[in-house]
C-alpha cells in the first residue's frame, strides 16, 4: 500500500475486498506520518488513540456487514484552528499552547460519523493570519515539493500534509485565500465552499463573516466526497445554510460541453509570466473540452485588498479580544494587577502579525474612523459581490489564477507585510462575495513548482465547479 498516493476510492475498495483493515491502515498511516513529518513540520500533533478508536469502529462495521460511511477508514488531518474535543487546539499560537477544547467542531463530528479517521492536527499561521505558514508559533512548514519554499498559508500544514502523504485528505479554513493558495503552492486540490455551506461551529473565529471550512485532497473526486460529508445545516451556526446538499461525487459526469467560462480581465495583470502561461494552457484544455470562453469584467477588483484588510482586521480585533488570560489562554502570572495581567498575557502571547491586525482593526472601528473605513469597506464588499453576480448572468464559471506567483522561498516576504498581503489579490474576492471557489493543479513551472488554476461559480453551485475541475483533471490538466 502506497500511503502517500492513496485515494478515498482505493481505500474503500481495499477495505471491502479485505486487502487491509481500517486499523492496519491507520497504524501504517501514523507510522508513515510520524517518520516523514520532521521534513516539513506540517503536523503539530498526532491523535493516535482517537484514530485507532475510529478505525476500530469501521472494522466493526465491516465485520457486522454494515454499510460503510463515505470516509470509512480515510486518514484525515484537521487544521489546528478547528476544535477537537480532548485534543489540543493551538491555532498556531503560543497563547493557546495548552488549550484543550471541551467539544468537537461540527465538521469534525461529521467526518467521524462518515467513518473518517482523524490522524492529527495540522500546523497553520497563528489564528489563520498569513499567506506562508511562517506566522506559526510552532515553526514554519516546508513545502514538500521544494523544501526551501513555503507551502502557502494559512492552511499550509493541511496542504503540505496531503501533498506529502501524512494524510489522505484534510480540512483547512479560508478567510482570504487560505485554502486555495496553499493548495496551489503544494499541487493539491483545495476547496472553499459557499459561505454557510459548512458549519463554522468549533472553527476558532478569525473574521466570522469571511471564515469558511473546506477540504484539501489529491484529486477533485476526493474533495467532492469530503465536502459532501461535512456540508449542511447546523443548528449551532446561525449562518449555516439550509439548502440541501447534493451528492457532489455522483454528479461528476465529465460533461462540460457548452459550459460558459469567463476570464476576468482584471485578474491577468501582474502575473508571473510562467503562471500566466500555465493558466492560458489550462484555458486551452477547457476549450478543447467544449467550453465556450469569453472575457468578463470584475471592475472593483482593485479595491479588494484594502476592503479585505479593513473588514478582516476589524472582525479579528473583536474576535481575539477574548484571549485575555482569564479563559482559554496561557496566563501571564507575574502581573501585579488585573489590567497588567491582560496586557502582559496579550503582549507576550500574540505574535507580530496578530498584533498588527488587532491594532489595525481597532483603529478602523474607532469613533471617527468607523464611517471612513469600516462602513466604506462594507459598501465596497457589496460592490465586489455585485460584480460577480453580474458576471454570472453571462457565464457559468470564472477561471482565474490563484496566486500571482508560485511558492516563494522561506523568509523571502517575511519582512514586508504589504508584499505578503498583495499575494492574496486573486483569492480574497471569492471570500468577500461568499461564492464557492477552488484551486485545481494546473501544471508546474520549469523549476518544478506547482501552479493552481482557480474556478469560481455562483453561490451553492459547488456541483458545477467540481464538474468542471474534474473534467479538466481527467483530460490530464496541463502537463
Ligand atoms: N492570507 C490572508 C490573511 O492573511 C488569508 C488568511 C486566511 O484565509 N485565513 O488574512
* Dist CA 423 CA 401 (whole Å): 11
Please report the pLDDT score of residue 215 as a whole number: 98
Taking Cα atoms as reference points, which of 128, 129, 424 lies closest to residue 305?
424
Please report the pLDDT score of residue 214 as a whole number: 98
Residue nearest to atom 10 of ligand 1 (CA): 129
CA of 309 to the centre of ligand 1 (A): 9
Residue 430 C-alpha cell reads as 471569492
- Tell me the angle at which helices 22-36 and 8-16 cross, rounded to the nearest 10 degrees: 140
Taking Cα atoms as reference points, which of 282, 303, 296 lies closest to residue 473?
282
- Tell me the angle at which helices 220-230 and 8-16 cross, rounded to the nearest 10 degrees: 80
Q: How far, in Å, are 34, 177, 362 from residue 314 at the CA level?
A: 39, 18, 6
Under a CB-based contact definition with an 8 Å cutoff, are residues 182 and 155 in contact? yes
Q: Spell out the residues 6+ positions from residue 430 whose beta carbon is closer than 8 angstroms to its own.
A: 177, 180, 192, 436, 437, 454, 456
* Dist CA 151 CA 394 (whole Å): 35
CA of 179 to the centre of ligand 1 (A): 9
User: pLDDT, tens digit, for every residue of 354-372?
Assistant: 999 999 999 999 999 999 9
Ligand 1 atom with least separation from CA of 206: 9
Under a CB-based contact definition with an 8 Å cutoff, are residues 86 and 51 in contact? no
User: pLDDT, tens digit, for every residue of 262-318?
Assistant: 999 999 987 889 999 999 999 999 999 999 999 999 999 999 999 999 999 999 999
CA of 305 to the centre of ligand 1 (A): 11
CA of 288 to the centre of ligand 1 (A): 35
Under a CB-based contact definition with an 8 Å cutoff, are residues 116 and 148 in contact? no
pLDDT averages per 10-residue partition of the chain, 479 residues? 93 97 98 98 98 98 97 98 98 96 98 98 98 98 98 98 98 98 98 98 98 98 98 98 97 96 93 94 98 98 96 98 90 90 94 97 94 96 98 98 97 89 93 98 98 98 98 95
Residue nearest to atom 4 of ligand 1 (CA): 130
Ligand 1 atom with least separation from CA of 177: 8
Instruction: State how far Cα 69 lies from the chain centre.
Output: 23
Please report the pLDDT score of residue 423 as a whole number: 86
Q: Spell out the residues 6+ positions from residue 355 whose beta carbon is closer than 8 angstroms to its own.
A: none
Please report the pLDDT score of residue 38 as a whole number: 98
Q: Spell out the residues 6+ positions from residue 210 whose beta carbon is closer than 8 angstroms to its own.
A: 175, 176, 195, 308, 311, 312, 315, 431, 432
Ligand 1 lining (C-beta closer than 6 Å): 128-131, 154, 173-178, 206, 312, 424
Would you please indicate which residues are annotated as catalytic (active-site) residues? 79, 154, 178
CA of 269 to the centre of ligand 1 (A): 21
Pocket test for ligand 1, best of 79, 122, 130 (most atoms within 8 A of CB): 130
Pocket test for ligand 1, best of 185, 212, 214, 312 (most atoms within 8 A of CB): 312
Under a CB-based contact definition with an 8 Å cutoff, are residues 434 and 244 in contact? no
* Dist CA 323 CA 321 (whole Å): 6
Please report the pLDDT score of residue 333 as a whole number: 83
Ligand 1 atom with least separation from CA of 308: 10
Ligand 1 atom with least separation from CA of 428: 5
Domains of the chain: 1-479 (3.90.1300.10)
Amino acid at each position: 500500500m502506497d500511503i502517500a498516493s492513496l485515494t478515498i476510492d482505493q481505500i474503500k475498495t481495499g477495505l471491502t475486498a479485505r486487502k487491509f483493515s481500517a486499523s492496519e491502515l491507520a497504524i501504517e498511516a501514523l507510522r508513515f506520518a510520524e517518520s516523514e513529518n520532521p521534513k516539513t513540520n506540517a503536523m503539530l500533533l498526532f491523535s493516535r488513540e482517537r484514530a485507532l478508536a475510529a478505525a476500530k469502529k469501521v472494522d466493526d462495521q465491516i465485520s457486522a456487514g454494515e454499510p460503510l460511511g463515505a470516509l470509512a477508514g480515510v486518514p484525515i488531518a484537521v487544521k489546528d484552528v478547528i476544535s477537537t474535543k480532548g485534543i489540543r487546539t493551538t491555532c498556531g499560537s503560543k497563547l493557546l499552547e495548552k488549550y484543550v477544547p471541551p467539544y468537537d467542531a461540527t465538521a469534525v463530528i461529521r467526518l467521524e460519523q462518515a467513518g473518517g479517521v482523524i490522524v492529527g492536527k495540522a500546523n497553520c499561521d497563528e489564528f489563520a493570519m498569513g499567506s506562508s505558514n511562517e506566522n506559526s508559533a510552532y515553526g514554519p512548514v516546508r513545502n514538500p515539493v521544494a523544501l526551501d519554499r513555503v507551502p502557502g498559508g494559512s492552511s499550509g500544514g493541511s496542504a503540505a500534509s496531503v501533498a506529502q502523504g501524512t494524510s489522505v485528505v484534510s480540512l483547512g479554513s479560508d478567510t482570504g485565500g487560505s485554502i486555495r493558495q496553499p493548495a496551489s503552492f503544494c499541487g493539491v486540490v483545495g476547496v472553499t465552499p459557499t459561505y454557510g455551506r459548512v458549519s463554522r461551529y468549533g472553527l476558532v473565529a478569525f473574521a466570522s463573516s469571511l471564515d469558511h471550512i473546506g477540504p484539501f485532497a489529491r484529486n477533485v473526486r476526493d474533495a467532492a466526497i469530503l465536502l459532501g460529508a461535512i456540508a449542511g445545516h447546523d443548528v449551532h451556526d446561525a449562518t449555516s445554510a439550509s439548502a440541501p446538499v447534493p451528492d457532489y461525487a455522483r454528479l461528476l459526469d465529465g460533461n462540460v460541453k457548452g459550459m460558459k467560462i469567463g476570464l476576468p480581465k482584471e485578474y491577468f495583470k501582474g502575473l508571473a509570466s510562467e503562471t500566466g502561461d500555465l493558466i492560458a494552457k489550462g484555458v486551452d484544455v477547457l476549450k478543447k473540452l467544449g467550453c465556450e470562453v469569453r472575457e468578463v469584467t470584475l471592475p472593483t477588483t482593485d479595491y479588494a485588498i484594502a476592503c479585505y484588510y479593513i473588514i478582516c482586521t476589524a472582525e479579528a480585533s473583536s474576535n481575539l479580544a477574548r484571549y485575555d488570560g482569564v479563559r482559554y489562554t496561557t496566563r501571564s502570572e507575574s502581573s501585579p494587577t488585573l489590567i497588567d495581567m491582560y496586557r502582559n498575557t496579550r503582549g507576550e502571547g500574540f505574535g507580530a502579525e496578530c498584533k498588527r491586525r488587532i491594532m489595525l482593526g481597532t483603529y478602523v472601528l474607532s469613533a471617527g474612523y468607523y464611517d471612513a473605513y469600516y462602513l466604506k469597506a462594507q459598501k465596497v464588499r457589496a460592490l465586489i459581490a455585485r460584480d460577480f453576480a453580474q458576471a454570472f448572468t453571462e457565464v457559468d464559471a470564472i477561471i482565474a489564477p490563484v496566486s500571482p506567483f508560485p511558492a516563494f522561498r522561506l523568509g523571502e516576504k517575511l519582512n514586508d507585510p504589504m508584499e505578503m498581503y498583495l499575494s492574496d489579490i486573486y483569492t480574497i474576492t471569492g471570500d468577500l462575495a461568499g461564492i464557492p471557489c477552488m484551486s485545481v493543479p494546473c501544471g508546474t513551472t520549469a523549476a518544478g513548482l506547482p501552479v493552481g488554476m482557480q474556478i469560481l461559480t455562483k453561490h451553492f453551485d459547488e456541483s458545477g465547479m467540481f464538474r468542471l475541475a474534474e473534467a479538466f483533471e481527467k483530460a490530464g490538466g496541463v502537463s
